[in-house]
């Protein structure tokens, strides 16, 4: 009798549990159905689009107020008209010192690419060595601490003296300003590799090459890419100032030449172009960093 009672109670419990489960499933389905029927909120879209638009609008408003107060300063509308003319033929050539803005940007990017590439080729391996060996760290740290605070433009006369030409002197200035972030960030990354990793490498009797390629490089990559991002921003800043002093073709020289011609709208156009190119370079490196690391490197 007891057995029958227990069996009946168990069956009732199972029936009740099954009914509860079915009810829960129906509730979930109903909630999903209502959520699908409900129109999607546009709040995230507006939060991502409106703040930048308001920021740009505020900047243009301030610009217009300055132009009204100072008649020699071009208004946004006048600058826009000049920008249309400038970019209608950005690659014209009327002589060695009279070329379109496209050629000037291209010349500056070439100098940045050469100087930055040389800095990466020297700075990243040197950062690995400084972080890996205490002797080299003790030897180079005083030199880096002494030379890093020096303004990159202070090195420009040395480049002109040594290379006897403005083009390699500008590349030298980019090289010397780009190398420090890469050395420092790479060496810090090597020094922060967990000691357990190095102990395992010692137990496995790995060669120095395998330690660098299989242990240090994956661990140091986020630090190294941060140094590269800092270096490219500094390099783009320096090339504009260096070209103002050295002349020739380049966006910096273009700004200085337009100032000598008192063409203020072109100077404003150049400022916007410089900012946009720097932003594009930064975003390219952020994308590369995201592709090779698991960290949030966009901030």
Does residue 209 sit in helix, strand or coil? helix
Q: Which residue has the tokens 């069956």?
A: 11
Cα 216 from Cα 176, distance rounded (Å): 25
Kindly indicate the confidence band of residue 32, based on its pLDDT and cuts at 50, 70 and 90: low
CA dihedral 244, 93, 232, 217 (to 10 degrees): -140
Model-wide pTM > 0.85: no
Backbone torsions φ then ψ of 216, nearest 5 degrees: -70, -50
Give the pLDDT of residue 9: 45
Q: Give 46-90 pLDDT, tens digit per residue.
A: 777 788 888 888 988 998 898 888 888 888 898 899 999 988 988
- Sorted by sequence, the CB contacts under 8 Å of residue 266 that are 6+ apart come out as 82, 86, 254, 258
Q: Assign residue 100 a region (left: φ > 0; alpha: ψ between -120 and 50; beta: otherwise).
A: beta
């Amino acid at each position: 009798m007891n057995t029958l009672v227990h069996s009946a109670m168990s069956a009732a419990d199972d029936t009740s549990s099954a009914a509860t489960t079915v009810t829960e499933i129906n509730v979930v389905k109903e909630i999903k159905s209502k959520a699908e029927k409900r129109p999607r909120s546009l709040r995230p879209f507006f939060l991502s689009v409106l703040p930048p638009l308001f920021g740009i609008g505020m900047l243009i408003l301030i610009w217009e107020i300055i132009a009204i107060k100072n008649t020699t300063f071009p208004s946004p509308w006048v600058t826009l008209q000049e920008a249309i003319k400038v970019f209608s033929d950005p690659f014209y050539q009327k002589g060695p010192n009279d070329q379109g803005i496209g050629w000037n940007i291209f010349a500056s990017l070439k100098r940045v690419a050469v100087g930055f590439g040389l800095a990466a080729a020297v700075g990243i391996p040197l950062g690995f060595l400084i972080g890996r060996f205490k002797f080299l760290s003790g030897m180079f740290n005083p030199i880096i601490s002494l030379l890093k605070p020096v303004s990159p433009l202070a090195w420009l006369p040395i480049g002109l003296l040594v290379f006897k030409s403005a083009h390699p002197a500008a590349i030298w200035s980019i090289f010397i300003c780009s190398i420090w972030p890469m050395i420092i960030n790479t060496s810090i990354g090597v020094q922060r590799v967990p000691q357990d990793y190095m102990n395992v490498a010692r137990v496995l009797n790995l060669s120095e090459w395998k330690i660098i390629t299989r242990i240090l490089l994956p661990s140091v990559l986020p630090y190294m890419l941060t140094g590269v991002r800092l270096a490219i921003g500094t390099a783009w800043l320096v090339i504009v100032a260096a070209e103002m002093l050295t002349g020739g073709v380049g966006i910096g020289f273009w700004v200085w030449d337009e100032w000598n011609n008192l063409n203020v709208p072109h100077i404003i156009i150049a400022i916007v172009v410089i900012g946009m190119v720097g932003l594009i370079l930064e975003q390219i490196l952020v994308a590369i960093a995201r592709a090779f690391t698991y960290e949030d490197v966009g901030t």
